[in-house]
Amino acid sequence: MDIIDLKIKATQIRMDLLRMIHRAKAGHTGGSLSNTDILTALYYRVMRINPADPKWPDRDRFIASKGHAVESLWCILADLGFFPKEELDTFCQFGTRLIGHPNNKVPGVEMNTGALGHGLSIAVGMALAAKRDGRDYRVFCLMGDGEQAEGSVWEAAMAGAHYGLDNLVGIIDRNGLQISGPTEDVMAIEPLDAKWEAFGWHVVSVDGHDMDALVSVLESAPEARGKPTLVLARTVKARGVSFAENVPGWHHKVPNDEELRRALAELAAYEELLQREGGRARA
């Protein structure tokens, strides 16, 4: 998918997830909007996947270690045809498999996540299996920035470097906010780049909403042979909805009718702009 189409897709996914959260009256709005561009780049361009064969042994793997920001993932998997789009209506409803965290009963989801600090260890195991079996798939693991306070993240970081897993890409959705406020007030985690470099990773910093840059960084990983890559994606929590951006309360606030209307209007206007730009580019 072209960059302009990826931007349009990400905008549509944002609208889908806001409608879904509004309908369900539940969801992690801020985090899902901050990781939407990253997931769109991965699922529509970077990763080698086949929605018709979710267990294809040579597929690239995605592990959502920050499992709470699942809404963008559900909307993307439905859009790609891993499951019927109508099922999004069941999000967080009684008996659904589309719960508030990734659930491996849903095609396209590798592992149940939700407890922070687990994903990177799992991704290390998957990348190690690929190395031992001589397979060439890559493993992408998306972490939160608040999650960096979990000690187990650093256990996994050591192992990834120790085994030289250059088929492993860790991504940090660095939106700067966690549930109680700014990460640096809750538990200071900076300097993140120096920390990951010291742990033996190849660190690349990128604007997590610049689709062009994101695609280029994710597609070219691994750039350093014998080293895992850490993509430090600088993002804005609740990106795309002006009145929610960077407001800690939107970590898991649900939009009311008026807020949904305003958010969708903003995103629709942005999509129209992108469509015009795309039309010009194609002409």
Partner 1 sequence: MMSTIPNRQMICETLMELAKDDRDIMVLASDSRGSALMGPFARAYPEQFVEVGIAEQNIVGIAAGLAHSGKKPFVTSPACFLSMRSIEQIKVDAAYSQTNVKLVGISGGISYGALGMSHHSLQDIAVMRAIPGIAVILPADRHETKRMTEALVRHEGPVYIRVGRNPVEDVYDEADDGEFVIGKAVTMREGGDLAIIAAGETVRVALDTEALLREMGVSCRVLNMHTIKPLDAEAVLRAARETGRIITVEEHSVHGGLGAAVAETVIQHHPVPMRIFGIPDEPAIAGKTAEVFRHYGISAETIADAALRLIGRKR
Would you tell me which residues interact with partner 1 (CB under 8 A)? 57, 104, 110-115, 117-118, 120-130, 132-133, 151-152, 155-156, 158-159, 162
Local structure of 69: helix, strand or coil: coil
Q: Residue 155 or 266: which CB sits closer to partner 1? A: 155
Q: How far is the CB of 173 from partner 1 (least distance, A)?
A: 20
Q: Residue 129 or 265: which CB sits closer to partner 1? A: 129
Tokens in use for 78? 């439905």
- Taking the C-alpha atoms of residue 90 and residue 86, their distance in angstroms, rounded to an integer, is 8
Query: Are 126 and 98 contacting, i.e. CB atoms less than 8 angstroms apart?
Result: no
Q: Residue 127 or 217: which CB sits closer to partner 1? A: 127
Q: How far is the CB of 61 from partner 1 (least distance, A)?
A: 8
For residues 22-57, one letter each, b for 16 or more C-beta atoms within 10 angstroms of the residue's C-beta and e for the rest, the string is: bbbebbbbbbbbbbbbbbbbbbbbbbebeeeebeee
Q: Residue 153 or 233: which CB sits closer to partner 1? A: 153
Polymer length of the chain: 283
Q: How far is the CB of 125 from partner 1 (least distance, A)?
A: 2
Closest CA to 235 of 149, 144, 162: 144
Q: Residue 6 or 120: which CB sits closer to partner 1? A: 120
Q: How far is the CB of 50 from partner 1 (least distance, A)?
A: 17
Local structure of 208: helix, strand or coil: coil
Q: How far is the CB of 63 from partner 1 (least distance, A)?
A: 8
